[in-house]
Amino acid sequence: MLSFGEQSSSLARRDDDRVSKGYAEEEQRSQGRRGPAKRSTYSRTGPEPGPRSPAPPLLKARQKLGKYRIVRRLAEGGFATIYEATDTIEGVRVALRVPRARFVDKHMLETFRKEVRLVARLEHPHILPIKNAEFIGDQFVVTTLLGTGTLRDQIYKRTTTQTVLSFAEQILQAVGHAHEHSIIHCDIKPDNLILFPGHHLRLTDFGIAKVSQATLSASGSGTVGYLAPEQALGRPSFRSDVFSIGLVLWRMLSGSLPVWPFAWPPDGIERVKRKVHPDLIALIERSLQVDQYRRFPDATHMLAAFRKLKKGRRLFARQRRKSRSGAGNGTDDWKTAREKLFLRRFRRVLELKHRCGRCGGPMSESMRCCPLCGSSTKVFRGETSLPARCPRCGRGRKLDWRFCAHCHGPGFRRVEARRYSDKRYVARCSNPRCSRKELMPFLRYCPWCRTKVKRQWPIAESGGRCKGCGWGVVQGLWDWCPWCARKLARG
């Protein structure tokens, strides 16, 4: 007879070949291939729509909605639109989440009712309370406190290692408190961690949390990029939240998100080694074990291990002492200086929000390879700023795009009827038969008619051009053309 540990390991090995299938099914559900799927309240892609109904008009600035006056629109996704508003009675700024009309049904209302009840049990400084959830006219409105942004926004900014580790402890405190009340969050991700002044984090969106029972059965709800393997098979547990926390920590420290099959070490390991202590890397490695029984039992145990490292001063990497002569590694110093100059001049122009998994250099979503080391990124693995993804190349797309603007793949099955405006539309498609013609910088194909873009995109503040594709390059700072993967000539 097998012991409990042997039975657990055997079960994990038997399920391993099913995990890939579970991830694939979850990806297909998120792309709407297999009909409706349960999604989190912050889901960026929704279920396959039925007959299209006219979308409610977007709320405008200074428009009244009950006791709230709209200030501006903060975000818009496939599930809901989020606004900043003023509570005219209390005189405070709040965040309003207004789901799309086609999602407002009995199931969703029951989900929000459960979320309100769950959060009411979790009084904690790092868990965001819900102020109100009600119908105002024909709009269903969920009201929360207004933060300064999300952890996802902060990831794209320059953040010190000390601040990152402070975020890590706050996340562990919030999830640990939920686990102490037998609540599994099931959707821990940077979008669901709201920032407040003073680098104060609050966890939100318990809409798909599962209350742990003696026998637990649940669907594979959650966000695919931060989903634990067993959760993809429909068996979430406290260890599933531990796995998601590990992914968030690695994303903050390395700039890249590990993907299935989660082989160790993930991309960005050299960058992480320069920042944190080996014992903290071992803690994250344990949280990212594919076999859930090798992880921490819950976030409370992981928090205790984290605080033990903190008490023993084993969080930060050991600093190397500089020689008395002041001489250092000239190659590393030159590369660091080049990267800082590049970011200072072109971070906003090129939307450099990502890191190369090989060298850690700054990259944008539309680049085909790293401009510093030439490493190929035909399939994009990072987080996208757009509300949906192309299933072929992994890059972002807007909900009303008919085709991928990066990889010339087949048309999308789910296309919104509403036309979404965007200030990044700065050029026009050359096809006279194109219905929209609007193009963003560095798109390869028209998202409306799939015509190849003939425009050779320039880079502002840089007059360099690639001799292969003709697109703009940064001479002197780049070794490779990120648009066509051609080696650039020096000088």
Burial 124-161 (b: 16+ CB within 10 A, else e): bebbbebebbeebeebbbbbbbbbeebbbebbbeebeb
Q: Which of 31-35, 85-89, 220-224, 441-445 has the lowest mean pLDDT?
A: 31-35
In this structure, of 112-121, 164-173, 286-295, 408-417, the range with the lowest mean pLDDT score is 112-121
For residue 422, count other CB atoms closer than 10 A to its CB: 10
- Element (DSSP H or E) covering residue 354: strand 354-355
- Domain layout of the chain by residue ranges: 64-145, 149-311
Which is nearest to 246 in space by CA: 230, 233, 222, 228? Answer: 228
Of 436, 476, 437, nearest in space to 459 by CA: 476
Residues 6+ apart with CB under 8 A from 144: 94, 95, 97, 128, 129, 130, 131, 194, 204
Q: Are 189 and 228 in contact (CB under 8 A)?
A: no
pLDDT of residue 171: 97
In terms of residues, how long is the chain? Answer: 491
Q: What whole-number distance in Å separates Cα of residue 7 and Cα of residue 35? A: 36
64-145 CATH pick, 3.40.50.620, 3.30.200.20, 3.30.9.10, 3.40.50.300:
3.30.200.20
- Percent of the chain predicted with pLDDT > 70: 80
13-60 confidence digits (pLDDT tens)? 445 555 555 555 555 554 444 444 333 333 333 344 344 444 556 788
Residue that the structure tokens 């979430």 belong to: 236
pLDDT tens digits for range 175-189: 999 999 988 898 899
How far is the CA of 306 from the CAs of 241, 244, 280, 315, in angstroms? 16, 16, 8, 8
Domains 64-145 and 149-311 share a fold: no
More confident residue, 5 or 181: 181
pTM: 0.65
pLDDT digits (tens, 9 = 90+) for 344-399: 888 888 988 888 877 778 889 999 999 988 888 888 877 788 888 898 898 999 99
- Please tell me the predicted confidence (pLDDT) of residue 208: 45
C-alpha torsion sign, points 377, 382, 387, 389 = positive
CB 389 within 8 A of CB 370: no
CA dihedral 398, 400, 403, 405 (to 10 degrees): -40
Angstrom distance (rounded) from CA 175 to CA 272: 24
pLDDT of residue 5: 43
DSSP 120: H
The larger pLDDT score, comparing residue 10 to residue 89, is at 89
Q: Looking at the domain 149-311, which fold is it?
A: Transferase(Phosphotransferase); domain 1 (1.10.510)
Summarize the chain as % helix, strand, coil (round to 5): 30, 15, 55
